[in-house]
Structure 1
């Protein structure tokens, strides 16, 4: 499965079966995590037993209490951390999709119970529930391309393809509060329009745009 296929097939899943992730997939996930942690200067951690991470009432109502495992999204606390978590965390989410696993970005969780290793100078930003979904999730309602771009004149194919994939990016409460600007020199700017976890969202959007456009973005 290509990353484009993974983007198209992946939807947020909040309800999970009791099945544990097989050992060989755990190995592959941890190998990918090591690669992404090194590339992004972050500290993603796969915690096989989610335990009471999602024991809050909101999580139980939403179904996340059934998630067997969780990814703790941790990293050195600086002004770029949330974007880096979004970008590299989504790389991991898409990799998990290629392994037949389902995921859900979750900002509401029990930080005391997640069991993450948070070192001096680090901060936990968000969590990702992971396991085998009781269903594959559903596509979210999306804005149109024209609602999220600022571009004058003809738009190159690569830009349109990047925006198409960006519109499939998961964002907090499906807010899609971002703008993608095409400059005259064909450089691209990503604008954060605010909102809860908007910097994490922007990192995820950049990940999708990069995959769709096949042009490197700056994190």
Structure 2
């Protein structure tokens, strides 16, 4: 699979309407191999999550369990269910790994759609076994996109403003939060930072805020929380968005042969208000 991951990230869209064509045996095998690989389950923080593939017919599993998605997903052929512990870095790292699966499926020509709050956790929990400390932060349907995107899909994209991404001056900064980052000042990280901008996020809130160091060798990742955004769900869904941002950034860096690694450090950067929280930094040699 020699496709450009940067081009894959650019073309990935959330797919809610699927074709009647069953998923091929080869693609089922490739998905199973991917989600079973240890390297795809543990990320930079060492918090191991899990993923399970459930095949469905008319949204009903082999066990006869009907999986509820509140009408948002039409004709899925399978779901990948995410499982992790409910704490800050477990959620961030899980999403970092889960988004790799999303990009992998995209490269196979399959559609996916991150779902954190528009599905019935109880119905999915009937299908899988969870330990006491585990829960399901999200799922994605999987299948082949319907060739002619239905009006429903377009309407949902319009409602969540999926095609309206914030501009650089609202998301990215240089040295402090008082100075916005110009593209011309981003250096080698211009494309990885742009991939963060293009990444999916819950309700397209794009809560990531990046600060590039004076040297241009360290990129600090912060989250600007939307107050009470997912409090009714019992976990901070926007932490998943930060894992997605990390995945988008690192994936672009790898394709561009930009060396670096993730670290958690004291940035000494003053945050604008109490909704901001530091997550992690990317550091190059």
Q: TM-score, normalised by structure 1?
A: 0.88
CA apart distance, 1:119: 2.1
CA apart distance, 1:65: 4.0
Gaps of 5+ in 1: none
Within a 5 Å distance, the mapping from 1:195-206 to structure 2 comes to 195=226, 196=229, 197-206=237-246
User: What does residue 261 of structure 2 align with?
Assistant: 216
* 2:218 paired residue among 178, 187, 196: 187
1:159 aligns with 2:189: yes
Distance 2:202 2:26 in 1: 31
User: What does residue 167 of structure 2 align with?
Assistant: 144
Gaps of 5+ in 2: 61-65, 176-180, 230-236, 255-259, 264-279, 281-285
1:134 aligns with 2:140: no
Work out whether residues 42 and 97 of structure 2, in 8 Å CA contact, stay in contact via their aligned partners in 1: no
Q: TM-score, normalised by structure 2?
A: 0.69
Distance 1:86 1:141 in 2: 22
Work out whether residues 16 and 67 of structure 1, in 8 Å CA contact, stay in contact via their aligned partners in 2: yes
Within a 5 Å distance, the mapping from 1:36-185 to structure 2 comes to 36-39=40-43, 41-49=48-56, 50-51=59-60, 52-56=66-70, 60=71, 62=72, 64-107=73-116, 108-114=118-124, 115-135=127-147, 140-152=163-175, 155-185=185-215
CA apart distance, 1:201: 0.4
CA apart distance, 1:55: 4.3
Distance 2:18 2:98 in 1: 20
Distance 2:165 2:108 in 1: 26
**Bigger mean CA deviation after superposition, 146-155 or 100-109:** 146-155
**Bigger mean CA deviation after superposition, 142-151 or 32-41:** 32-41
Q: Which has the higher helix share?
A: 1
- Count residues with an aligned counterpart: 214
RMSD: 2.1
SS at match of 2:262: coil
SS at match of 1:217: strand
Q: Which of 1 and 2 has higher RCO (CA within 8 Å, sep 6+)? A: 1
